[in-house]
Structure formats: structure tokens, C-alpha cells
Structure 1
């Protein structure tokens, strides 16, 4: 909920800054006549309608600025996503990036795999790992996929101690090998 509110505040703040920037550019470049600018400033002092609108917009901008300043300065908000475990000796935190690199390491050990990418999701049942692979096309894809699934699951569970609920393998493509034909002259 806080993220949605922050996005809405950022949108409103951006609109206010955009309008102020256009007004400043117009005044500085001479598009807005000085007599019009002076008349606009005088209207701030003459009527309550314009004065009230400027007070409201200024107060909203000030509050939004304070909110963004708080977000920028608070500590711990930018912590990397991790999996937390409690042991008898204390807490263990393993980043999702670490789990991703372990999955890629295990998958890359399989023969016939070229380009790998991984995505990690934490669920109630454990970790869901999605592997995207480009293979050489010389090995049967079903057996290669099963080997990748088995090795990734076993390796990640062994190293991290976290149960792996699912390993999905998506074979995106096969590597094209270039074949050269000898020219006969």
C-alpha cells in the first residue's frame, strides 16, 4: 500500500515540478511577458482565491518533498531480498542473488548447455527456480532438462539447506553451428 501511495505522490510531485518548470522557462525566455508575470504575482496579494490555491499547492509540494526526503534517508529500505533462517546459533540470511548464482553454477555443469539465466521466487513450499537455457541441440532435450532440474535442486538444497519446491527449465533455443562448405574450383 505504501508503494502505491509513494507512486501517486511521485506522480503529483512530477506534475507540480513540470508546471513550475514550464512557467520558469516561459518567463526566462520571454514567452511570458513581464507585465503578465507581474500581474500574476499581484493577484496573489489581491484575491483569496488565487492565494488559497497557491498555499495548497505549496503545502502539498512541501509535504511530498519531506516524504521523499524521508524515503531517501531512512536506513535498511534498500536491503537486498533474502531468505532468512533461524538456527540455534543465530540468524542466517542468504540473498536471492546467491541462490540464483548457485542455480546457474549447477546448471552450467551440464554438458550441452550454452546460455543460462535464472529467476528465483520464494514460496511457502520452498524456492521456485526458473532456468532459461540455450542448448547445443546434440543432446536429447527432455533428458538434458531433467538432468538440469535434478542437479540444480540437489546442489541448491545441499549448499543452502533450503528446500527447493520446483525447478522449471525453459529451453529457449538451440545454438546454431556454422557449417562451412569447401569450395571446389
Structure 2
């Protein structure tokens, strides 16, 4: 709801600043003569009482909008870093998704035959879902290797974070091609 309100306020602010820019461009380009500007200023001071009140209201609205957007830009957004929140008897614990990702990568990298890894973490109702993309050496049997990776990642992440892991998916993207040199006979 607040983001929708901020967008509406930003739209209103953009219109007001745009109108002020058009007026400034018109004055700077000479489209508004000194006489026209003087008449407008004279009406502001000598005209009906609602004109100064309108100017004051518009100026206050622009000032408040400016302050609001200044606050939005400098405040620290707690939702900016995705994390997993846990409540304990002693208080709250927040573990960033990046931390869980690095734990999964660390556990998978310890397995023999794994050369390159990437991880993606998703939070589901049953627990964490971890998807690993791996490049392997091609010398270790892939079914045994992926099973070892799944077990190691699940146990390591659960032991360190205390968060249940419901699924570990391993996608073997490729195998490392070993450099073999064939001799040429001429």
C-alpha cells in the first residue's frame, strides 16, 4: 500500500516539477514578456486573497513531497536483502539467502569430481529448495556423485542454519574436457 501511495505522490510531484520547468523555460526563452510576468506578480500581491493562498498550498505540497522522497531515498529498507527469518526463545535470527547459497556451494565443492558450481535457493513451505548447476570431471560416476552432493549439501545446510532442506536438485551441465594431445605423423 505504501509503495502505491509513493508512486502516486511521485506522479503528482513529477507533474508539479514539470509545470515549474515549463514556466522557467518559457521565461528563459522570452515567451513570457516582462509585462506578462509583472502582471502575474501584481495579481499575486494585489489580486483576490485566494491566489496567494493557492501559491502557499502548492509550495507546501511540493515541499512535503520533496521531504517524503528525500526520506524514502535515505532510509534503510529492511526488505532489500532477501533473508530467512527465524524466531527463537532469545530473539530473532535472520540468515541471508546469499549465506545459504554459499553454504550449499561449500558443501558441494568438497565432493571429488566437481569442478564448477552455481546455486539457487528458494524458500518453500516444506523447507529450502536448493538447485545446483555443476560441471564435473567425467571420471566419477555421475549418479553416485550427484547423490553424494545432494546428501552433503542437505546435511551441511541443515546443520549450520537449522533450517530444513526439502529438496536438493543437481543439474550436471557439462563435463570438463581433458586436454589430450594427438601426435601428428607426417
What is the CA–CA distance in structure 2 between the aligned matches of 1:120 and 1:113, rounded to whole Å? 19
Deviation (angstroms), 1:163: 0.6
Against the structure 1 CA distance between its residues 67 and 145, is the aligned structure 2 distance closer, same or farther, given a 3 Å change threshold? farther
State which structure, 1 or 2, has the greater radius of gyration over its C-alpha atoms. Answer: 2
Q: Distance in 2 between matches of 1:70 and 1:22?
A: 27
Distance in 2 between residues matched to 1:13 and 1:75, nearest whole Å = 22
Deviations 1:64-116 (CA, angstroms, capped at 9, x unpaired): 53332121233453663322223334333322221111100001111221211
- The equivalent of 2:108 in structure 1 is 107
**1:136 matches 2:132:** no
Deviation sequence 1:113-146 (CA, Å, 0-9, x none): 1211112222221111121212223333333222
Give the counterpart of 1:34 among 22, 26, 30.
30
Q: How many angstroms apart in 1 are the aligned matches of 2:30 and 2:162?
A: 71
- Equivalent residue runs for 1:142-153 within 5 Å: 142-153=143-154
Q: Partners of 1:112 and 1:13 in 2: how far apart?
A: 58
1:57 Cα shift? 9.0
Q: Distance in 1 between matches of 2:138 and 2:156?
A: 25
Distance in 2 between residues matched to 1:109 and 1:184, nearest whole Å: 42
| Greater alpha carbon shift after TM alignment, 6-15 vs 87-96 | 6-15
Unmatched segments (≥5 aa) in structure 1: 47-53
List runs of 5+ in structure 2 lacking aligned partners: 44-54
Aligned counterpart, 1:50: none
Count of aligned pairs between the two proteins = 179
- 1:174 aligned partner: 175
Give 1:173 shift.
Answer: 2.4
